[in-house]
Structure formats: C-alpha cells, structure tokens
Amino acid sequence: MNSNLPDDWSPADNPYSIALSESSWLRATVALTVARMHGDDVQVGWFSSRQIDARTLVVALRQLLAAVKLERIALTDLGMDPAVITALDDAEQVFLDALPNIKHVRDGLTHFEDWARGRGSGPQKDARKTADPRDVARDFWSFGYDPLTDTVTMGPFTISVSAAVPAANALCDAIYAATREVDQRSTAELRDQVVQALTDATIPCTPPQDPVLVSQGHDMRVWLSFNLSSVPGGEHKELAERVATVTAHAGLRLTSSAFPEAQDIAERLVTGEPLRVERNGP
C-alpha cells in the first residue's frame, strides 16, 4: 500500500484504475511463466517447473478476463461513451478467439474437486445428460503442458502457449486505452471547472493572450500558470493571490511539482512556475 495515500482512500473510488493495475500484474505473470516454460525444465521436488508454470499461466490468463469485467463495470458506472466499452468488448473477443478454451481449462484446474468426480458445471454438466459422472470425469481429466506442441490441455480442451503473450498484451493494451479515455475525460472536466471558477471571478484566462493560462497536459493533469508578459509587473502578486483564493474556494488546490509541500503558492505563480491543479477530496 502506498503510504502517501490519504487515510480515506478506497479502491472503490477508481475501480477502472484497479483493473489496469491488476491487468499489468497479470501481463507480467503471463510473460514470466511462458518464458520459463520455453526455457530449461527444472525439477522441483517430484514436479516439473514447466508443469507448475502451466498452472500459473492458465489462472493468470483467465484472471485477465476478470480485469476486463471490472473495467467494463467501471466504464458503465462512469457513463463513458459506449464506443469506449465496445472497443473493450472487441478486444476481449479477440483474446477469446486466440485462447478459445481458456475458461474450460481454468475451470477444470481450479474446480478439480468437482471435475474429478464428473460433477463440474458447463461442459461436464452437458456431458452428464448422456453419460455416467465417472465416465465424464475420465473424459475431462488430465491437465498438462506438452512442450512438443507447446499447448496446455485439460481433458478435451487445449490452449496454445505461444498465443498467450500476444493475446495478453493486446488485451492489456485495450484496458489501458479505456483507462486513458476515463483520465482524458476527467482531466477535461477539471480544466473546465478551473476555467469556470476563474471566469466567474472575472479573472481572464482565454489563451493565448490572457494573463492566466489553464492547460491540459499530456500527463493527464491540469496546469495553471501566468502569462507574465500579459500582466503588468505591479499586478503580479495581487493577481496571484486572487487566483489562489478563487481556486481554493472552488474546492481546488494548486501544488508545485518540484516542491509538493510548498505553501507559497502565490509567490510561485509570480515567478512563472506552472502549478498542478487538483481537486480536494476523493
């Protein structure tokens, strides 16, 4: 846990960011396990390291779909443009097309207590309509990685290990793109809030000629600075103090990227330093 987070922080504030974070961990897990599976096999007690990694790989790939689910829920709750959600849905389908049996392979692996008895859901449930559970269990059993075919198998279901890394990368890129859309919208809304607060206080902030500049950076942050050439020298301090007061009353805070704890906000504006604009609270 980041010790710089406020005491009232909660992952529920930004679940789309949690989806991105988890997908990044899972992408790395997929890359690591595939690299080890394609490397030298190591004996770990009675077990092959490749077979151990195959189990980890399957779970990581399936969990990427959980990250997509969380991202989709967050996008819907935020009322994002349907096109953003559609792009994520399309990326998920491409992932499933590349690894069509990932759900069944993962289910057989993680629900072995049911699959070993032929009592699993999904395909085992369908098979029980015409076969005894004991026979179903046998037909759907035997998990393993075959280095010759580079595939992982659970009963009749197979996934390609060589397809895992590109599929995971593409899906994670889609989650990142969706998250960036949220950040871009949030940044634009924050910039509009800053401009409105300044405008209501009759502080000119229309680029490029007005004395106060409010910019939306490539870093997904909003920056406020002075166009010093547009402000008479004797008015710098007064304008800076007005800006600091107006933004504070609007529930915003100005911070220095160089000195985040600095309190001399007006003085920093006077020197021409761009200050980051943030909302107070979650």
- Per-residue model confidence as pLDDT tens digits over 37-81: 999 999 999 999 999 999 999 999 999 999 999 999 999 999 999
- Residues 90 and 174: their CA atoms lie apart, in Å, by 9
Q: Which helix (H) or strand (E) holds 143?
A: strand 143-146
Query: For residue 201, what pLDDT is reported?
Result: 95
Mean pLDDT value of segment 86-107:
97
pLDDT digits (tens, 9 = 90+) for 58-69: 999 999 999 999
Q: What is the pLDDT of residue 282?
A: 57
Q: How far apart are CA 59 and CA 219, in angstroms?
A: 33
Residue 200's pLDDT is: 95
Q: Identity (one letter) of the amino acid at 197?
A: A
Q: What would the mean pLDDT of 128-157 be, rounded to a whole number?
A: 96
30 is written with which tokens? 């997929």
What is the average pLDDT across 242-271? 87
For residue 240, what are the contacts with CB-CB under 8 A and spacing of at least 6? Answer: 226, 265, 266, 267, 269, 270
* Span 192-223, pLDDT tens digits: 999 999 999 999 998 878 899 999 888 889 99
Per-residue pLDDT of 240-250, as tens digits, reads 999 999 999 99
Mean of pLDDT values over 172-176: 98
Which residue, 219, 263, 230, 228, is CA-closest to 244? 263
pLDDT reported for residue 5: 57
> What is the reported pTM?
0.84
Judged on CB neighbours under 10 Å (0-12, 13-18, 19+), 85 is middle
